[in-house]
Amino acid sequence: MSAELTWSHHVVLLDKVEDPVARSWYAEQAAADGWSVRTLEDQVQRRAYQRQALPDKVTNFSERLSRAQAALAQEFVKDPYLFDFISARSGMVEREIESELVRHMTQLLMELGSGFAFVGHQYHLEIEGEDFYIDLLFYHLRLRCYVVIELKTGAFKPEYAGQINFYIAAVDRMLSKNQDNPTIGLILCRDKRGLIAEWALSDIMKPVGVSEYQLFDVLPDELQDLLPSARDIESRIGAIFPDADETDERYGGKSYS
């Protein structure tokens, strides 16, 4: 990896990653995906190795895909996904989360990982005169297949497996071409309920994975009131540094507020 990464990459790896196995994983990912130093730091901070390489993931890929395709598909799944660019709100419904994900598409694609190309959200399929809508549809350039993502606001339920199995079958028949690999499904829930999900996928014929996702949890109003305001912070800094100008050179020419 030393020939493919800069000295600054190596400094980050040596300074911020203690586990040599994890360090090698980050180095390989950085080289393969062309991560900048800042992206590498962000991935380390977001614990990408722990979420992508370590978890006991709930999928049936090994039973429904070829060995090479299953290994690659298993590699791209994370658990949990961190959608911390979306603020959680009480009573938030699936469509609202979808809209926020689409509005922050750059962050969403970075969290999903390299190779994902966005096709559409609430993707419309008409079958025998009936309308169906896929929450999020992607095409994965390395897997060379469509990826159907269904988003759920609560815990996993067994019926979700049947629903996504149907959507995958529809995409395979209506969108996939001869050169495409089998479509893969991913159900994202706030709680994957591992054993229930594992049993639900055991007899599903299409390749499906189940993972959790996390949103940015905003403090409740009663706790927000306990935090100091910007004015409180400024007044305290002013008391500590009474002679400091907001752009004093001693503070790098930057506002201390």
What CA–CA distance (Å, rounded) separates 62 from 56?
A: 13
Stretch 153-159: mean pLDDT, rounded?
95
Residue 221 pLDDT exceeds 90: no
- According to the model, what pLDDT value does residue 4 have? 86
SS3 80: coil
The one-letter amino acid code at 185 reads: G
Mean pLDDT score of the chain, rounded to an integer? 87
Q: Taking the model in full, what pTM does it have?
A: 0.79
Residue 123 pLDDT exceeds 90: yes
What CA–CA distance (Å, rounded) separates 183 from 143?
A: 9
- Reported for 119-124, long-range contacts at CB under 8 A and 24+ positions apart, including other chains, are 119/146, 122/95, 122/98
- Looking at domain 56-217, its CATH architecture is 3-Layer(aba) Sandwich (3.40)
Q: Are 97 and 153 in contact (CB under 8 A)?
A: yes
Q: What Cα–Cα distance (Å) separates residue 190 from each residue in 91, 147, 151?
A: 13, 20, 9
- According to the model, what pLDDT value does residue 222 have? 47
pLDDT digits (tens, 9 = 90+) for 225-245: 555 555 555 566 566 556 555
Residue 67 pLDDT exceeds 70: yes
